[in-house]
């Protein structure tokens, strides 16, 4: 957190602007503030669940999340980056737009590559999908996948992230998944078949 807070204070003007032509085709939609904010309890609840019920699953999940977040901090330090996607004005005024205004005030449009919102959502979704116990509950699997999808979309529809940040998060999640989770499935052919 101190490292991230330092980056938020120092990376303010002189940074590489992340932008893709595809970002211009994604409209702003304030309603996505709901899944965007659900990210916080989503991550916390899943990690608490594993902490109290499955220590091995907890350590694998935190290894995946903490490694990715450390890589993110290194990237943001050596490659300062940010966005110019946020709308200057809003059409209409409702509680969702008010929530977006608060978000924009508290979260700077810098240090965005790769998206931690996306990466951590994928990370806890992987943890849930890899849990032998939770795999028995299809509604948990589908709920996790649905919420993760909505959170990923919310980062782009709220103009918090470029599609480039999202793709980078998916790539990093895939590579670190292979390091953290795949060696375990290779040891257990039965688990590998269930995961597939």
Q: Where are the domains of the chain?
A: 27-195
Tell me: pLDDT of 45 over 50.
yes
Q: pLDDT band for position 11 (50/70/90)?
A: low
Note the pLDDT of residue 183: 67
pLDDT at 188: 55
Mean pLDDT to the nearest integer, 93-106: 94
pLDDT score, position 3: 72
Q: Model pTM?
A: 0.87
- pLDDT, tens only, 114-160: 999 999 999 999 999 999 899 889 999 999 999 999 999 999 999 99
d(CA 96, CA 34): 8
pLDDT top residue among 84 and 5: 84
Q: 76-106 burial, b if ≥16 CB within 10 A, otherwise e?
A: beeebbbbebeeeeeeeeeebbebbeeeeee
Give the tokens for residue 17.
């602007």
């Amino acid at each position: 957190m101190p490292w991230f807070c330092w980056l938020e204070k120092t990376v303010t003007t002189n940074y590489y602007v992340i932008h893709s032509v595809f970002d211009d085709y994604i409209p702003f939609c304030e309603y996505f503030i709901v899944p965007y904010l659900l990210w916080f309890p989503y991550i916390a609840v899943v990690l608490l669940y594993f902490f109290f019920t499955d220590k091995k699953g907890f350590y694998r999940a935190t290894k995946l999340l903490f490694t990715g977040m450390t890589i993110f901090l290194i990237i943001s330090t050596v490659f300062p980056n940010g966005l110019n996607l946020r709308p200057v004005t809003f059409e209409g005024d409702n509680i969702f737009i008010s929530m977006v205004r608060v978000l924009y005030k508290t979260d700077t449009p810098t240090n965005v590559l790769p998206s931690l919102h996306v990466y951590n959502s994928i990370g806890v979704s992987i943890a849930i999908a890899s849990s032998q116990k939770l795999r028995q509950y299809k509604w948990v699997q589908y709920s996790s996948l649905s919420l993760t999808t909505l959170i990923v979309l919310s980062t782009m529809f709220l103009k918090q992230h470029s599609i480039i940040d999202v793709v980078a998060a998916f790539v990093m999640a895939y590579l670190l998944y292979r390091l953290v989770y795949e060696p375990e499935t290779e040891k257990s052919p039965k688990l590998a078949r269930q995961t597939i």
